[in-house]
Structure 1
Amino acid sequence: MRPARLTVLSAAAVVVALTAVTGCADKGDDSGSGAIKVNATDSGCEVSKTEFPAGKVSIEVENKGSKVTELYVLFPDDRIVAERENIGPGTKATITAEIKAGDYAFACKPGMKGDGIRTKVKATGQGSGEKRSPELDAAVASYRKYVVEQAEASLPTTKTFVDAVKAGDVEAAKKAYAPSRLGWERTEPVAESFGDIDPKVDVREDGLEAGQTWTGWHRLEKALWADNKIGDDEKKLADTLMTDVTEWHKKIGTAEITPTSMANGAKELLDEVATGKVTGEEERYSHTDLIDFKGNVEGAEKAYELLKPTAQKNDAELVKQLDTQFAALNTLLDKYRADKNGYEFTSYDKVGDAERKELSDGVNSLAEPLSKLAAAVAK
């Protein structure tokens, strides 16, 4: 789980593109660029426009606070329209979203926690309603099929894990733990877009909100590796996990996915690796981070491969870079495989600082050109 999420929507926002840049945001209004400007601080979220025409909307965010922040564009029921995570102090990010008419909220999240500091906004009119190419429609259809297949494949693997927990078999549960998470890791941005499912199944202990009960994979991970025991509470939590994963499976087919959200989701999967897997924070008890890492990379590469024909036409040099960097990162990960084609990897607590830096550098080398994929697809 990342501190926040491919923005997949339920029928209202059509295209989302996120591009992060570093530096300090210029002061002033949005009269020059036509963008909505958001000044985020540790205690505020100042929005330059609260009403704007529906269609293509550019949002320029500057973090003037001392904490890392996030910006979300939300439906009234908190579904995500667009987002940008990990905006460091003194940096800015640009979000470009195709938004239909309706009511929304901008939410800044200093410290990347809580419901955020919110401002209500309204998109008016009808918007552009541009049609996609048949090639991109085919890419979307194939990707939707992929995420549904991943959710379907997660049901039996999660059941194997849950059954082992309920049987009190610690070793069998440990063996089944990481495989049960692969489908989620490959499609995490899609999965996380459905409101409360992600906090139920994938939250870490330090990511809990006030009053939130800790459930999901990582709660059971701690019981298995840190406590090395399974009690009645864990058995009940296993049933809850199965219920929540089943709910994710039911919802995943209803998501509306766009070419640009696919591209941004691929980049977000790399961000997930950088902020959770490379650091060892995600699987802090089981140390199965490299399996999650591989799942994230596979999900990003799947989206890229489906969008590649369009990207090749619009930016052949970018495609060349992405092919090179995906191959390099996969080769680097293969160094830690215990078997050639399976998903047994070196325990991450056995990976030294120098090797972790090498992995981090590989992720960063891919993330930079991957951040340009959405723009190439949208040309």
Structure 2
Amino acid sequence: MRAARLTAVTAVATAAALTAVTGCTEKSGAADGEHVVTVTATDDACEVSTSEFPAGHVELAVENKGSKVTEVYLLFPDDRVVTERENIGPGTKQRVTAEVKAGEYRIVCKPGMKGKGIRQDVKATGGKAAARDPRLDEAVAAYRQYVQQQADETLPKAEAFAKAVEAGDLEAAKKAYAPSRIGWERTEPVAESFGDIDPKVDVREDGLEDGQDPATDWTGWHRLEKALWQDGKIGDREKELAATLVTDLKDWQNRVGKADITPTSMANGAKELLDEVATGKVTGEEERYSHTDLVDFKANVEGARTSYELLKPVAKENDAALTAELDRQFGALDKLLDQYRPSTSSYEFTSYDKVGKADRKELSDAVNALAEPLSKLAAAVVAKERGDRR
């Protein structure tokens, strides 16, 4: 999960009002084609090249001219995520390809990757759907089955975790904690796309919004993680939170089949999972009490690889060099992770507090080596449909 989450805000009526309130402005004219929207981020502004673009495949050409790492989102009006890109460093550029239907959207920049972000209302016009290779429809259908399967398999594991907490069995709860998170971590971008479920089940204490009280507003896995490992006790509040976690995960299970999934969201979701690894797992911040980060790490990589493998037949035709590099980097990262578990048939990993600085650097380098080519997967998947407009 990310350190901070977006919350819904009231849309302003005009572009002028939006500029005055948020510092987000519109630049005249697209930079390199009507399907490309340039996004220039600074520490206090977010400029977009146009407020309207054709429905279909749109590409956000992002440049961070600020002094802080930023992230950029394309959102539905209700803050559901269409696509996103994190970890855009100062002075760097990235491109994000998404498939959008005609309608209203928002582009959001988040300097420092914190807060509600600087927002710009935009519109996709025209009713023509993006052309799609039939094999990509098959990939989307297969991925839908995968995310539903992960949700279905998570529920009994989460219920076992909750029962241990409710019974006050500290050791049993600790043992059940990490396995209960695997399915979620494999498909986290889909869960995050709903906007409201992730803050309930997977937020860390430092990810709470301003004004939220950890004593009353912090719920989910990591609240219980802290109680189990740092506090070393299970009270009435923890028992209540365990039951709430199961309720929230059932909500996820029931809604995941209705998620908006496209070939580009699958590709971008794979990259998002690597961003999750880079910002939370490699640093040890995600599982700071239990030190089960490598379990999450492996699940994130597995989820990313599933998306990639489903999209690979089309991506390989469009960019064989890219898929060859992705095969190599996925293999290298899997081999490295396997060094931290006793058996490839086991989901047990070395406690992350036992992984030294040099080894963490090696893991980080392997993640970065995979993330760079993975950021190009969405563009490769739709290259023929877009006609390589770039």
Answer yes or no: same fold by TM over 0.5: yes
Q: Structure 1 312/99 Cα, relative in aligned 2: closer, same or farther at 3 Å?
A: closer
Per-residue Cα deviation, 1:43-99 (whole angstroms, up to 9, x for no partner): 222233223333333332222222222222221211112222222222222233332
Residue 189 of structure 1 is matched in structure 2 by 189
Q: Highest relative contact order (Cα 8 Å, sep 6+), 1 or 2?
A: 1
8 Å CA contact 1:113, 1:209 repeated in 2: no
Flag the 1:125–1:319 CA change in 2: closer, same or farther, 3 A: closer
Residues 1:372 and 2:373 aligned together: no
State the AA in 1 paired with 2:153.
A
Task: Tell whether 2:277 aligns with 1:273.
Answer: yes
Once the 2 structures are TM-superposed, how far is the Cα of residue 251 of structure 1 from its aligned partner? Answer: 0.6
Q: Which residue of 1 aligns with 2:161?
A: 161
Q: Report the Cα offset of residue 272 of structure 1.
A: 1.1
- 2:144 match: 144
Consecutive unaligned residues of structure 1, counting only runs of 5 or more, are 6-26
Q: How much identity, in percent, do the aligned residues show? A: 71
Amino acid at match of 2:346: G
Measure, in 1, the Cα distance between the counterparts of 2:271 and 2:321: 18
Which of 217, 225, 232 pairs up with 2:229?
225
Residue 291 of structure 1 deviates from its aligned partner by 0.5
TM-score, length-normalised on structure 1? 0.89
Q: Look up the match of 2:342.
A: 338
| Secondary structure, aligned partner of 2:258 | coil
Aligned to 1:211: 211
For 1:340 and 1:98, the matched residues in 2 are separated by 37
2:3–2:204 CA contact under 8 A, matched in 1: no
Q: Deviations over 1:12-67 (max 9, x none)?
A: xxxxxxxxxxxxxxx99535544333332222222332233333333322222222
The size of the alignment, in residue pairs, is 357
Partner Cα separation in structure 1 for residue 123 and residue 326 of structure 2: 37
After TM superposition, give the deviation of residue 374 of structure 1 in Å.
Answer: 1.7
- Per mean C-alpha deviation after superposition, the further-off stretch among 332-341 and 47-56 is 47-56
Matched, 1:73 2:74: yes
Question: What is aligned with 1:358?
Answer: 362
- Do 1:4 and 1:85's aligned partners in 2 also have CA atoms closer than 8 Å? no
Instruction: Report the Cα offset of residue 3 of structure 1.
Output: 4.0
1:95 counterpart residue number? 96
The answer (yes or no) to whether the contact 1:100–1:126 under 8 Å persists in 2 is: yes
Asked whether the equivalents of residues 154 and 181 of structure 2 are also in contact (C-alpha less than 8 Å), the reply is yes
Q: Call closer, same or farther: CA 1:363–1:377 in 2, change over 3 Å.
A: same
Asked if the contact 1:337/1:343 (under 8 Å) is kept, the reply is yes
- 3-state SS of paired residue (1:253): helix
List 4+ stretches of structure 1 deviating above 6 A.
none
Deviation at 1:249, TM superposition (A): 0.4
Cα 1:55–1:132 change in 2 (3 A) is: closer
Counterpart residue identity of residue 382, structure 2: A
Hey, what's the Cα distance between the residues in 1 that align with 2:287 and 2:267?
Answer: 26
Instruction: Give the letter for the 2:208 counterpart.
Output: L
Structure 2 vs 1, CA of residues 124 and 299 (structure 1 numbering), >3 Å: closer, same or farther?
same
Contact kept, 8 Å, 2:56 with 2:130, in 1: the verdict is no
Structure 1 pair 332–169 and aligned structure 2 pair: CA distance change class (3 A): same
- Which letter does structure 2 place at the counterpart of 1:358? E
Supply the distance in 1 between the matched residues of 2:135 and 2:203 (Cα, whole angstroms): 37
Equivalent residue of 2:74, what SS? strand
Supply the AA of the counterpart residue of 2:377. Answer: L
**Contact residue 29 and residue 37 of structure 1 kept, 8 A:** no
Please show how residues 1-379 of structure 1 align to structure 2 within 5 Å.
1-3=1-3, 30-34=30-34, 35-127=36-128, 129-212=129-212, 213-379=217-383
Aligned partner of 2:171: which letter?
Answer: E
Moved more, 283-292 or 115-124: 115-124
